[in-house]
Each structure stands twice: as structure tokens, then as C-alpha cells.
């Protein structure tokens, strides 16, 4: 069955520290991959997406993600975290264009001053 896993339920980092959020997927072929962020009480905002090509993808708010086919992973990174980055982060995958998106369970990020 197709699935997306995020091993870390909750992560706490200090402001200014680097961040890496893990994501693994299980699909028959490489899906389209996404990272979304959700602030409390808000909808989902797209951070970045990978469809094909360069395996290092740049997104908004200083985030980037690296696709690794051998590890079935699509980890999200940011070199220096800001307090405003505290939110819930969802990795997601889509088998083909115009298909339903399957979301991981999310990783809650806390940022301490």
C-alpha cells in the first residue's frame, strides 16, 4: 500500500540552529513529493515540491529538500531556524498528476529562544 511516514512526531530546536525533518515514502514508483506547513488553526501552505530533475529542491521561507531514490526519502532542511517556523510540517506524495495526495502524520516543530 502507498504510504508516507515521518519518523519524528515532535522536534524541538533552538532558534538559529539547523533543522532536518525526515520523510520516507512507500510507492511502486517514484511519486511526486511535497512538503506543506500548517500553523495552528490554519490551512496548509506548500513549501516545496519535487516532480523530477534536480534532487535538491529549493522552496519558500529558506527551506530546501533533498530527494534520495535509494533511501526512498525526501528530507526537509533549513540552515537556521526562526521562531516563526514553529508549526506542523507534513510530507506528502502523489502517485501521478491529478491524483489524491497521501499525507504523512506530520512533525510538530517547536523553536526555543
Partner 1 sequence: DTGVSQDPRHKITKRGQNVTFRCDPISEHNRLYWYRQTLGQGPEFLTYFQNEAQLEKSRLLSDRFSAERPKGSFSTLEIQRTEQGDSAMYLCASSSLSEGGDTQYFGPGTRLTVL
Site residues, partner 1 (CB under 8 A)? 4, 32, 34, 36, 41-46, 49, 51-52, 90, 92, 94, 97-106
Q: Is the dihedral of CA 110, 87, 72, 68 positive or negative?
A: negative
* Beta carbon of residue 41, minimum distance to partner 1 (angstroms, whole number): 8
Q: Hunting for cell 530533475 — which residue is that?
A: 53
CB closer to partner 1 out of 47 and 111: 47
CB closer to partner 1 out of 51 and 83: 51
* Beta carbon of residue 97, minimum distance to partner 1 (angstroms, whole number): 4
Please name every residue paired with 61 in a beta bridge, in sequence order, or none if there are none: none
Three cell numbers written together for 46: 506548500
The DSSP bridge pattern shows strands 87-94 and 32-38 to be antiparallel
**CA 13 and chain centroid, separation:** 16
CB closer to partner 1 out of 39 and 71: 39
* Beta carbon of residue 10, minimum distance to partner 1 (angstroms, whole number): 10
Amino acid at each position: 500500500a502507498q504510504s508516507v511516514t515521518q519518523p519524528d512526531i515532535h522536534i524541538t530546536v533552538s532558534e538559529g540552529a539547523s533543522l532536518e525533518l525526515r520523510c520516507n515514502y512507500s510507492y511502486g514508483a517514484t511519486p511526486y513529493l511535497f512538503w506543506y506547513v500548517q500553523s495552528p488553526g490554519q490551512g496548509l501552505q506548500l513549501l516545496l515540491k519535487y516532480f523530477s530533475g534536480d534532487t535538491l529542491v529549493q522552496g519558500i521561507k529558506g527551506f530546501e529538500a533533498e530527494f534520495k531514490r535509494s533511501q526512498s526519502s525526501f528530507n526537509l532542511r533549513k540552515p537556521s531556524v526562526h521562531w516563526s517556523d514553529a508549526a506542523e510540517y507534513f510530507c506528502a506524495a502523489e502517485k501521478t498528476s491529478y491524483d489524491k495526495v497521501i499525507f504523512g502524520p506530520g512533525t510538530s516543530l517547536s523553536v526555543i529562544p
